[in-house]
Amino acid sequence: DSGVTQTPKHLITATGQRVTLRCSPRSGDLSVYWYQQSLDQGLQFLIQYYNGEERAKGNILERFSAQQFPDLHSELNLSSLELGDSALYFCASSVEGGEPYNEQFFGPGTRLTVL
Amino acid sequence: DAKTTQPTSMDCAEGRAANLPCNHSTISGNEYVYWYRQIHSQGPQYIIHGLKNNETNEMASLIITEDRKSSTLILPHATLRDTAVYYCIVRVNSGNTPLVFGKGTRLSVIA
């Protein structure tokens, strides 16, 4: 158990719909990362938040957005869903600081299926 | 894009050492080598990281060549539970930066 929790575990929805994935980081971790893992693209970084502020952006579509709340939990919003958005979505968290605290702890993931 | 090259797959007999190679010929002086693994569809798990010296922890050993262009992750006594995809990642160690995953090596430990 990494200490990072994600809900829901599974999500099945239809094309065109909107969903929200939730992540609670480990206690004390200020950074939250979202990654997408699909069969054809592998594990890809989407976006990072640090203490409520967006810090880095990866291959995140404009239809996707995220935020980090004052209690440090984060939500990833996916809208106008397409079949190709079906994937595993992972959240990870880490402590801000130097060595050896750059390890990222991953949650169990949310499996999204778009039908 | 990932800055590392790894074999697609490897097999290892249970109880034997698993040696997973990684090439990172364009690594910069301030970049570390990180290893993560992903068991089935679970979240990736940190294994070890290093800069230029060899490193060892309770999970594995990391051997980095003197020119730092390649490294080897060693699982000293592989078990069936070590069957996973292993990712070698190069990354600066200052602050918290995203991980850039390549395709990794699928290690199958065989009884």
How far apart are alpha carbons A6 and A91 in whole angstroms? 7
Average pLDDT, integer, range A102-110: 91
Does the pLDDT at position A88 exceed 60?
yes
- pLDDT band at A28; cut points 50, 70, 90: confident
Q: According to the model, what pLDDT value does residue B95 have?
A: 60
A43 with B87: Cβ contact below 8 A: yes
**Distance in Å, alpha carbon of A43 to nearest chain B alpha carbon:** 6
**Chain A environment of B98 (Cβ under 8 Å):** 33, 45, 48, 56, 58
The string of pLDDT tens digits covering residues A36-68 is: 999 888 899 999 999 999 999 998 999 999 999
Does the pLDDT at position A100 exceed 60?
no
Which residue among B87, B96, B100 sits closest to A45, beta carbon to beta carbon?
A: B100
C-alpha radius of gyration, chain B, whole number: 13
Residue numbers of chain B with a pLDDT score lower than 70: 93-95
Backbone angles phi, psi at B82, to 5 degrees: -85, -5
Q: Does any CB of chain A come closer than 8 Å to the CB of residue B94? A: yes
Q: Does any CB of chain B come closer than 8 Å to the CB of residue A9? A: no
How far apart are alpha carbons A78 and A104 in whole angstroms? 23
